[in-house]
């Protein structure tokens, strides 16, 4: 039997509620499958840890995490007590960068039993591949002068290597999907980075003649997510564009509370990190009403990455069955608690 050592970082807010729920579901599917098991090790890193120790994780945190097969994370952020740039850069982004998790994958799919806020959602099934290591989220820039003359500069950094890596990953995914890749660009507004992005895309696509492609400006793409989401298969986007687009993806699915995500080290040299799209949701934390499906679906992505896609499909089927039966948290228009949704998914498994 395969045993996977997983580092668990529930983080803050609803992360502390949805992570244990998802772990129960994953343990159940492992038990039913019988060919693998999980060994979970919890780390109390996050904003509470920061308030006590002055850092989001210990100095040797990355070294510790390297000893695990994968990382399962909830959410980070307590904006009223710790500024977001400290909490996100001190933990989440530190891990993404330190473990070279250069690809962020975020599916958006209309699940059975869910009502999309779109009037005519059709049957959309989109995967956004987001470049996860640089781009607009580069720690490069500065501020000079204070007062009325103050200047803030934020540099966006695009390297050929990382841009190409994200695009190739998108093309590889498209091989097993509906064979279409859309590139999210904005070369009509950003005069250096995005023409470069387009150039790399045009070069990479020649290696995949069997895949259809299109290039769409990010603003139009956002509108198309609302007007005709069924038109997309795989989308490749820069760090910022992918980030924004996938919140929209969560919204058209019915709630950001169900949207899953994976930060992948595709070279498999370091652990990858699986965390839902949503944040720590301080407005509903501690009330037992958070939707655990984003975290559970994220667990399904971890199963897929570990090579247990049959178990992964089982989890997604169980989620869809439960939603179709009407057991839903409030963000989806239901009245069930987190515990009730989790129990129903385990029962359905």
102-110, 133-141, 149-157, 290-298 -> range binding ligand NAD (CB under 6 A): 290-298
Q: Which of residues 244-273 bind ligand NAD (CB under 6 A)?
A: 256-257
Among 8, 22, 30, 75, binds ligand NAD (CB under 6 A): 75
Coil, helix or strand at residue 26:
helix
If the CB atoms of residues 211 and 258 are measured against ligand NAD, the closer one turns out to be 258
Q: Rule CB under 6 A: say whether 279 interacts with ligand NAD.
A: yes
State which of residues 20, 121, 260, 294 lies at the interface with ligand NAD (CB under 6 A). 294
Interacting residues with ligand NAD between 309 and 338 (CB under 6 A) = 329, 331
How many Cα atoms within 13 Å fall on the side-chain side of residue 24?
16
Please, what is the Cα angle at 105 between 199 and 331, to 5 degrees? 130
What are phi and psi for residue 96, nearest 5 degrees? -55, -45
Calpha distance 305→293 (Å, rounded): 18
Phi, psi dihedrals of residue 288, rounded to the nearest 5°: 75, 20
Please report whether residue 283 would count as binding ligand NAD according to CB under 6 A. Answer: yes
Is 342 a residue that touches ligand NAD (CB under 6 A)? no
Q: Please report whether residue 77 would count as binding ligand NAD according to CB under 6 A.
A: yes
Dist CA 339 CA 345 (whole Å): 10
19 counts as binding ligand NAD under rule CB under 6 A = no
Contact 38, 27 (CB under 8 A): yes
**Helix, strand, or coil here: 180?**
strand
Stretch that binds ligand NAD, among 20-28, 70-78, 152-160, 188-196 (CB under 6 A): 70-78
Give, as ranges, the residues between 86 and 115 that touch ligand NAD (CB under 6 A): 88, 92
Nearest to 258 by CA among 308, 307, 311, 330: 330
Q: Residue 157 gets which letter from DSSP?
A: B
Residues that bind ligand NAD in the complex, under the rule CB under 6 A: 14, 18, 75-77, 79, 84, 88, 92, 256-257, 275, 278-284, 290-291, 294, 329, 331
């Amino acid at each position: 039997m395969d045993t996977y050592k997983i580092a668990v970082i529930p983080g803050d807010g609803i992360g502390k509620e949805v992570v244990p729920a998802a772990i129960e579901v994953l343990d159940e599917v492992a038990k039913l499958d019988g060919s693998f098991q999980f060994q979970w090790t919890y780390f109390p890193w996050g904003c509470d840890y920061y308030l006590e120790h002055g850092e989001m994780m210990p100095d040797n945190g990355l070294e510790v995490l390297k000893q695990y097969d994968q990382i399962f994370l909830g959410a980070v952020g307590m904006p009223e007590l710790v500024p977001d740039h400290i909490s996100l850069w001190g933990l989440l982004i530190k891990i993404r960068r330190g473990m070279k998790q250069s690809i962020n994958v975020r599916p958006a799919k209309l699940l059975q039993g869910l009502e999309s806020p779109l009037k005519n959602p059709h049957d959309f099934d989109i995967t956004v591949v987001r470049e996860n290591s640089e781009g607009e989220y580069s720690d490069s820039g500065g501020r000079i002068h204070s007062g009325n003359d103050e200047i803030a500069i934020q540099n966006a950094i695009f390297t050929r290597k990382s841009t190409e890596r994200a695009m190739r990953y998108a093309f590889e995914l498209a091989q097993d999907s509906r064979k279409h890749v859309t590139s999210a660009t904005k070369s009509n507004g950003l005069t250096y980075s995005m023409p470069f992005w387009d150039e790399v895309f045009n070069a990479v696509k020649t290696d995949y003649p069997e895949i259809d492609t299109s290039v769409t400006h990010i603003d139009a793409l956002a509108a198309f997510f609302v007007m005709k989401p069924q038109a997309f298969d795989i989308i490749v986007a820069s760090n910022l564009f992918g980030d924004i687009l996938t919140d929209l993806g969560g919204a058209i699915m019915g709630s950001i509370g169900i949207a899953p995500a994976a930060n992948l080290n595709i070279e498999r040299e370091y652990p990858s990190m699986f965390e839902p799209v949503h944040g720590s949701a301080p407005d509903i934390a501690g009330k037992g009403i958070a939707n655990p499906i984003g975290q559970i679906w994220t667990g399904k992505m971890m199963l897929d990455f570990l090579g247990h896609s049959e178990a992964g499909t089982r989890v997604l089927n169980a989620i869809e069955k439960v939603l179709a039966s009407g057991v839903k948290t409030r963000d989806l228009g239901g009245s069930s608690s987190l515990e009730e949704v989790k129990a129903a998914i385990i029962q359905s498994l």
